[in-house]
Structure 1
Amino acid sequence: MQPEVDGAVCPVCRSSEPARRLPLVVVTGASGSGKTTVFPHLVAALEDCVVFDVDWLLDSFGAACAPDPVDWPAFRDSWLSIAHGVAQSGRPTVLLCPFMPEQLADLPARNWIGDIHFAVLDCPDQERRTRLEARPPWRAREVEAQIAFGAYLRKNIPTVIPTDRTPAETARAVAEWVRELV
């Protein structure tokens, strides 16, 4: 099946069925930006959307890939497929994740998604350092790499939402931005 307007069409016989392609909202950010902390507040603030923290599937996906490392393009493509499935209920998807636009552009499931909108949750570098260093030892920290990734996102994603307020206030700011889009 191939996407065509709001349907899926067989390229051979031209049979078709409905298939909505709604916008996808990606709230990205380097580790320590507040994505996981904001999540429950964002769920409450966006009742008309389905909000996911993509880390939910990371352990299962990693186990499915074992003994090989995680297939990151397949992981991201799976989330696009989930968003397409959610769209069939008429609700847009919001993903909290460290994805970048160029990582989604050429994935197979991209054709089944409408416009993709990105915003970055961000905090000052010293705050990110403090947050990451406060994590338990079993969690990956990679402080300098995450500070560099945060700077990259800040430079390349035009919509920046600071996390220098309470998680509920940050979620309200994200929700307001999402409502303007969808």
Structure 2
Amino acid sequence: MNPDDPRARRTRARLKQAVLALVAEREAGAITMAAVARRAEVNRATVYLHYPDVDALVAAAMEDAVAELARAAALCPLDAPPDRAPEPLVGLFEHVAANAALYARMLGPHGSARFTAGMRARLTAELAAGFAEGRRPDGCAAVPAETHAAYLAGALVGVIAHWVARDRPEPPAEIASAFWALFRGGSVPVA
């Protein structure tokens, strides 16, 4: 099958929409390929033709969102003051807040390990690329760029997972400021 065929692209788009709708309703681990096929109104064999399992389909469906997160993280000016989060970081948390139920399911205890690992890897790659261009905070030159990027990506994924799992999470600007203060080594404002 040619992945660039317009019919294949339309089918993959329908499958992605179907799985995201299902993830919004129930835990990712409870979703079957048959349920995705029914929701997308395609044959179950068609689903397997495009994706080997639900985890791969969910990861593909969330790819655009993860790319947006990674771009926002990479755009943060690392020399911004520790008491004010950069706009791209605030935007990142606003994006997560707008899709909180989906992120809570995907990063939760019954979510997708493949999605979580992919999100962390994408964030690491984007941050490492920025660090390779010399965009690193002062005092971090002794730490390899890839290690520094992996550390930040893991911290960001952890904070996002914790934040969306709470009943009444802080507003996006507040959690972005808290994360930024921790990242920059400042103190976190107490509310």
Q: Which TM-score applies when normalising by structure 1?
A: 0.26
Q: Which TM-score applies when normalising by structure 2?
A: 0.26
Query: Whose helix proportion is higher, 1 or 2?
Result: 2
Query: Whose strand proportion is higher, 1 or 2?
Result: 1
Relative contact order: is structure 1 or structure 2 higher (C-alpha 8 Å, sep ≥ 6)? 1
Q: Which has the larger radius of gyration?
A: 2
